[in-house]
Amino acid sequence: MARYASVDDLGNGTNVVEWDGETGWMPPPGVQSIIDTNGNVSPGWTYANGQFVAPPQPPPPPPQPVTSVTALAFRQLFTPAERVAVTKAGFTDANVRVFIDDAAAAGTVDLTATETQQGMMYLQKLGLITGPRAAAILAAQPPS
């Protein structure tokens, strides 16, 4: 028994069968059976100029969005000027200080956590960061 690929008139592989090439099975009309000497052809392959060609590989899945970062990486999502402004604000505003301290103590900052989202909104409310920058930070996009 050998492995045969069924190929339609357009060169598209439609099936693969084990067959002795002589008895018991015949390809349907408009389809030819071509021996698969490598043993790796499957439906979806094409056949042209005496060669089987594998279908193109599907594109890789898109990367998963980053939802948590280290405390240092979180700080580095802010521009230097934003880091300075937030640090200065932390000397006079207890809410800013708690946000900074909690992020540092956490080790890992969950960008989707309610506390993180609220802290970023508070920094925005104080004018320490803009709305677009807050969105970029929460999307783990480093400053340009």
Alpha-carbon gap, residue 134 to 141, rounded angstroms:
10
Q: What is the mean pLDDT of residues 61-87?
A: 95
What DSSP character marks residue 44? T
- The pLDDT assigned to 15 comes to 87
DSSP-H helix ranges across 4-140: 71-76, 80-92, 94-106, 114-125, 131-138
Rounded to two decimals, the pTM is 0.59
Angle at 4 between CA 55 and CA 53, to 5 degrees: 20
Q: What is the mean pLDDT of residues 49-57?
A: 91
Alpha-carbon gap, residue 49 to 38, rounded angstroms:
16
Q: What is the mean pLDDT of residues 79-91?
A: 97
**pLDDT for residue 24 is more than 80:** no
Q: What is the mean pLDDT of residues 30-53?
A: 88
